[in-house]
Structure 1
Amino acid sequence: MHNSYWYLALLLLDTLLFCFILIKKRNMQPLLLLLTMIGLAYIIETIIFNFLGSYDYHPKIIKHFSFYDSEVGAFVSNAFSLPVIATLIAVFHLNWIWKIIFSGLFVGIEWLFLKLHIYEHHWWKLVYTGFGLLGYFSIAKMFYKWIIQPQNRFQHNLLLYLITGSISASAHILPMLFFLNRFYRPGWFENIGRDSIAFAAIFYLCDSLFYCGMVQMNWKFKWALYLVTGLLMFIVNQFLISVGILHSRIWWDQFYYVGLSLMMILLTGIVDRRLSKAS
């Protein structure tokens, strides 16, 4: 349990910090930016962590699969903690000195986790974290400007995709980690956990693009949008089962993902309308 305390403490502190941001700003813009930065973090993690094996986390929260346990650590550290700080920097218009301070702070936390043996590098280095965060924090300030003012079509679609992806990825992958409701076996990696999460990442990247495209089409009957979405998700799941990639382990698994697709269409539509409004 020693390992998990550090990650849970980090999660608690960042949750409190984000609550502080919401209280101070009293609008939904910080939430939209947080989801945008989580979506960006997921894409970065998919590349360097899931596919390139940059590092491993050892929170010892999940016992059954070591890669799933590492995925939880990556979520706490990179897919939540970093986006919260990026949101803080952007919404309070902190200057480059603060970017350097927070980048150094995270490098220090990473160094501490290495010394505590609750995190390990493979080919990754501390310097990559430092310089990468400077860029990540700068991107957050750019995205925030897009959120608080009217966007062009490219800016709007990129924000919508990242926000949709952050929700879709979380809702798709977290049940797999904690409930083992399904796993994927495309055969890309020998480790079943890594293989499963890698395919799930590609799945969410594709379905997020689908949701964004669907809500921006002119549907005469809204019920048809939900019917097509739910039916297509069911068909895709059945196809993946038939070719041996998807292994559904719990009775509610496929109902959940069909229901999730319908919820994602609803949420994507809400975000699409929200982003279309000039603040």
Structure 2
Amino acid sequence: MHNSYWYYALLILSIILFGFILFKKRNTQTLFLLLTMIGMGYIIETIIFNFLGSYEYNPNFIKHNTFYDSNLGAFVSNAFSLPVVATLIATFHLSWIWMVLFSGIFVGIEWLFLKLHIYSHNWWRLEHTGFGLPFYFAISRVYHKWILQPSNGLKHNWLLYLIIGSLSASAHILPVIFFANRIYSPGWFENSGRDSIAFADIFYLCDSLFYCLMSKLNWKMKWSKYILAGLVMYAVNQVLIGVGILHSLVWWDQPYYVGLSLLLILITEIVDKRLSKLPYIEDS
């Protein structure tokens, strides 16, 4: 059980740090930046962790599936802790020295987890972490400037996609991990957990794009978007069940994802408008 304590400590410290950031800044831009960096973290983890098998975590959160357990470890470390620090760096305009310092801290944490045998490398190395993190932190500063100077162009749409992607991925994948409400079986990997999460990643990347595109439609009857979104989600689920990829295991599984699609359409439209209208706020 000691495995979990280290991951809980990292999670709690990250929550406290983000609470401090929100307390100091008290603006919507800060929350949007965190969600943007979480969205980036999910995309990076989809590529290097889920599909390329870069490393493995052993937080001992989930007993019934080792890959789900590893995926939660990746979430705590790379899809939450790193985005929180990236948000801190960007919102407080910290210099490259701080980026290098925080990169070194995370390399140290990674080394410690390796020594504790609660984390292991496949082809990944500590040098990859040390080299990549300064660029990840630098990207957060770029995104922060985009958020502070809203537009309706490619920058705006990319930010919107990352923000909605962070919400869609969390709401889609975490129930699968914690409640085993569904399994995907595309046959890409021998490990059933990895196979399921890999397909769930592709699913969330696609449905996030769908929600963003739907938010751009200016229909007179706005409620028709919700009907269409619900019908599309239901139809996609039925097709996946029909071809043997989706196995729905609990009664609430399909209603949950249909309802989630309606909620995400609503959130997408709200975020889209907020990103377009956020006034420039000079940080103190």
TM-score of the superposed pair, with normalisation by structure 2 = 0.98
CA deviation vs aligned residue, 1:242-262 (integer Å, no higher than 9, x gap): 000000000000000000000
Question: What secondary structure does 2:120 align onto?
Answer: strand
Question: What secondary structure does 2:247 align onto?
Answer: strand
Matching residue of 1:114: 114
CA deviation vs aligned residue, 1:61-89 (integer Å, no higher than 9, x gap): 10000000000000000000000000000
Question: What secondary structure does 2:56 align onto?
Answer: strand
Matching residue of 2:34: 34
CA deviation vs aligned residue, 1:158-182 (integer Å, no higher than 9, x gap): 0000000000000000000000000
CA deviation vs aligned residue, 1:119-149 (integer Å, no higher than 9, x gap): 0000000010011101100000000000011
> How far did 1:12 drift?
0.5
Matching residue of 1:217: 217
Matching residue of 2:58: 58
Matching residue of 1:176: 176
CA RMSD in angstroms comes to 0.6
Give, in whole Å, the separation in 2 of the partners of 1:219 and 1:101: 50
Give, in whole Å, the separation in 2 of the partners of 1:81 and 1:90: 14
- Say if 2:263 is the partner of 1:263: yes
> How far did 1:185 drift?
0.1
1:173-212 correspondence to structure 2 within 5 Å? 173-212=173-212
> How far did 1:151 drift?
2.6
Alignment length (residue pairs) = 279
Taking only the aligned residue pairs, the percentage that are identical comes to 71
Alignment-mate amino acid for residue 233 of structure 1: M
Matching residue of 1:81: 81
Alignment-mate amino acid for residue 275 of structure 2: L
List alignment gaps of at least 5 residues for structure 2: 280-284
Give, in whole Å, the separation in 2 of the partners of 1:30 and 1:112: 30
Give, in whole Å, the separation in 1 of the partners of 2:193 and 2:226: 32
Matching residue of 1:254: 254
Alignment-mate amino acid for residue 14 of structure 2: D
Give, in whole Å, the separation in 2 of the partners of 1:114 and 1:151: 43
> How far did 1:278 drift?
4.0
Moved over 2 A (4+): none
Give, in whole Å, the separation in 2 of the partners of 1:176 and 1:278: 35
Give, in whole Å, the separation in 2 of the partners of 1:272 and 1:152: 9
- Say if 2:147 is the partner of 1:150: no
- Say if 2:274 is the partner of 1:274: yes
Alignment-mate amino acid for residue 168 of structure 2: S
> How far did 1:152 drift?
4.8
Question: What secondary structure does 1:134 align onto?
Answer: helix
1:40-51 correspondence to structure 2 within 5 Å? 40-51=40-51
- Say if 2:260 is the partner of 1:243: no
CA deviation vs aligned residue, 1:88-119 (integer Å, no higher than 9, x gap): 00000000000000000000000000000000
Alignment-mate amino acid for residue 175 of structure 1: P
CA contact (8 A) 2:152 2:276 kept: no
Question: What secondary structure does 1:60 align onto?
Answer: coil
Alignment-mate amino acid for residue 99 of structure 2: K
Question: What secondary structure does 1:53 align onto?
Answer: coil
Alignment-mate amino acid for residue 231 of structure 1: L
Question: What secondary structure does 1:202 align onto?
Answer: helix
